[in-house]
Structure 1
Amino acid sequence: MSDEDEGPLVKKSRIFYGSLEEKERERLSRETAGTGKLKDGVKAGIAAGNINISSGESMDLEERVSERQSEVLAEFERRRRARQITVSTDDAEVKACLRALGEPIIIFGEGPAERRERLRNILSVVGPDALKKSKKDDDKSKRSQEERQETWYHEGPNTLKEARLWLAKYSLPRAMKRLEAARAHKEIPESTRTVKQQELHKNLRNLNNFCSQIGDDRPISFCQFSPNSKMLVTASWSGLCKLWSIPDCTLVRTLRGHSTNVGAISFHPQATLSLEDSDVNMVSCAVDGSVKLWSMDSDEPVADIEGHSARVARVTWHPSGRFLGTTCYDDSWRLWDLEAQEEILHQEGHSKGVHDLHFHPDGSLAGTGGLDSFGRIWDLRTGRCVMFLEGHLKEIYSINFSPNGFNVATGSGDNTVKVWDLRRRRCIYTIPAHQNLVSSVCFQPTDGHFLVSGAYDNTAKVWTHPGWSPLKTLAGHEGKVMGVDMSPDGQLIATCSYDRTFKLWMSE
Structure 2
Amino acid sequence: MSDDEDVLYVKKQKTIHYGSLEEQERARLSTAAVKSGDSDEEGGSSNTVQQASEVGNVNISDEYMELEEEMNRDRQALLEEFERRKRARQINVSTDDEEVKRNLRQLGEPICLFGEGPADRRSRLRDLLARLGEDAIKKKQEEEEERMQQEKDQETTWYHEGPEALQVARLWIASYSLPRAKQRLDEAHKEQELPEATRTARRQELQKKLQALSIYCSQIGDTRPISYCQFSPDSKLLATASWSGLCKVWSVPNCELTLTLRGHNCNVGAVVFRPNVVQDEKSPECALASCAADGSVKLWTMNSEEPLADVEGHAPHRVSRLAFHPSGRFLGTCCFDGSWRLWDLEQLEEVLHQEGHCKPSYCISFQIDGSVCATGGLDAFGRVWDLRTGRCVMFMEGHLKSLYGIDFSPNGYHIATGSEDNTCKIWDLRRRACLYTIPAHMNLISQVKYQHQGGKFVVTSSYDNTAKVWSNKTWQPLKTLSGHDGKVMCADVSPDSRFIATSSYDRTFKLWAPE
Q: Assess same fold via TM > 0.5.
A: yes
Partner of 2:258: 252
- Corresponding position of 1:93: 103
Q: CA deviation at 1:117?
A: 7.9
Q: Which residue of 2 aligns with 1:263?
A: 269
Q: Contact 1:226/1:271 (CA < 8 Å) preserved in 2?
A: no
Question: How far apart, in 1, do the equivalents of 2:129 and 2:226 lie?
Answer: 63
Provide Cα deviations, 1:357-400, integer angstroms capped at 9, x if missing partner: 00000001111111111111111111111111111111110000
1:274–1:180 Cα change, 3 Å? farther
Q: Which residue of 2 aligns with 1:63?
A: none
Aligned to 1:187: 193
Q: What's the counterpart of residue 401 of structure 1? A: 408
Q: Which residue number in structure 2 is paired with residue 499 of structure 1?
A: 506
* Secondary structure class of the residue paired with 1:503: strand
Deviations 1:55-97, CA, capped at 9 Å, x for gaps: xxxxxxxxxxxxxxxxxxxxxxxx9x96988577748727969
Give the structure 2 partner of residue 486 of structure 1.
493
TM-superposed CA distance for 1:484, in Å, is: 0.5
Query: Are 1:196 and 2:206 matched, yes or no?
Result: no
2:384 corresponds to which residue? 377
Q: How far apart are the structure 2 equivalents of 1:214 and 1:350?
A: 36
Equivalent position of 1:68 in the other structure: none
Quote the residue 1:213 is aligned against.
219
Q: How far 1:134 moved relative to its partner?
A: 7.9
Describe the superposition over 1:238-286 as per-residue Cα deviations: whole angstroms up to 9, x where unpaired: 0000111111111111110000000000000023358962111100000
Quote the Cα distance in structure 1 between the aligned partners of 2:137 and 2:475. 51
Q: What is the identity, as a one-letter code, of the residue corresponding to 1:427? A: C
Residue 151 of structure 1: how far off its partner (Å) = 1.2
Correspondence list, 1:272-421, <5 A: 272=278, 277-308=283-314, 309-421=316-428
More deviation, 223-232/268-277: 268-277
Aligned to 2:153: 148
CA–CA distance in structure 2, aligned partners of residues 151 and 366 of structure 1 = 15
- Give, in angstroms, the shift of residue 435 of structure 1: 1.0
Task: For 1:125-144, list aligned pairs within 5 A.
Answer: none
Measure the CA separation in 1 of the matches of 2:137 and 2:502: 60
The secondary structure found in structure 2 opposite 1:192 is: helix
- Counterpart Cα distance in 2 of 1:372 and 1:172: 32
Among all aligned residue pairs of Structure 1 and Structure 2, give the percentage whose two residues are the same amino acid: 58
2:93·2:122 contact (CA, 8 Å) conserved in 1? no
State the alpha-carbon separation in 2 of the partners of residues 136 and 92 from structure 1.
11
Deviations 1:206-240 (A, max 9, x none): 11111000000000000011111111110000000
2:63 aligns with none
Whole-Å separation in 2 of the counterparts to 1:432 and 1:157: 43
Do the aligned partners of residues 275 and 325 (structure 1) sit closer, same or farther apart at CA in structure 2, a change above 3 Å counting?
A: farther
What whole-Å deviation, never above 9, does each CA across 1:133-162 have from its counterpart, x for those lacking one? 989977875675455331122222211112
Question: CA, structure 1 residues 191+335, in 2 after alignment: closer, same or farther (shift >3 Å)?
Answer: same
Q: Find 2:229's aligned residue among 217, 223, 234.
A: 223
Q: Helix, strand or coil for the counterpart of 1:376?
A: strand
d(CA) in 1 for partners of 2:231 and 2:92? 78
Q: Do the aligned partners of residues 452 and 140 (structure 1) sit closer, same or farther apart at CA in structure 2, a change above 3 Å counting?
A: closer
Distance 2:401 2:421 in 1: 5
The change in CA–CA distance for 1:141 and 1:397 in structure 2 (over 3 A counts) is: closer
Residue equivalent to 1:431: 438
What is the RMSD of the two structures over their aligned residues, measured on CA atoms?
Answer: 3.0
Matching of residues 150-165 of structure 1 within 5 Å: 150-165=156-171
Structure 2: gaps (5+ residues): 1-86, 108-120
8 A contact 1:239–1:260 mirrored in 2:
yes
The amino acid across from 1:93 in the alignment is N
Q: Secondary structure at the match of 2:306?
A: coil
**Which residue in the other structure is 1:241 paired with?**
247
**Equivalent residue runs for 1:59-70 within 5 Å:** none
Where in structure 1 are there 5+ consecutive unaligned residues? 1-78, 98-110
Change (3 A) 1:119 1:489: closer
Contact 1:226 1:267 in 2 (8 A): yes
The residue that corresponds to 1:467 in the other structure is 474
The 1:395/1:140 distance shift into structure 2, 3 A limit, reads: closer
On the 8 A contact 2:91/2:126 being kept in 1, the answer is: no
Counterpart CA distance in 1 for 2:344 and 2:292 is 20
TM-score, with structure 1 as normaliser? 0.75
Equivalent residues, number: 413
Q: Tell me the SS of whatever aligns to 2:185.
A: helix
Match of 1:116 among 104, 118, 126: 126
Contact 2:95 2:122 in 1 (8 A): no
Match of 2:170, SS state, is: helix
Provide TM-score, normalisation by structure 2.
0.74
* Aligned counterparts of 1:84 and 1:392: Cα–Cα separation in 2: 42
Amino acid corresponding to residue 248 of structure 2 in structure 1: K
Once the two structures are superposed, residues 456-504 of structure 1 have per-residue CA deviations (whole angstroms, 9 ceiling, x without a partner) of 1111111111111111111111111111111111111111000000001
- For residues 145 and 481 of structure 1, do their structure 2 counterparts lie closer, same or farther at Cα, with a shift above 3 Å needed? closer
1:456 is aligned to 2:463: yes
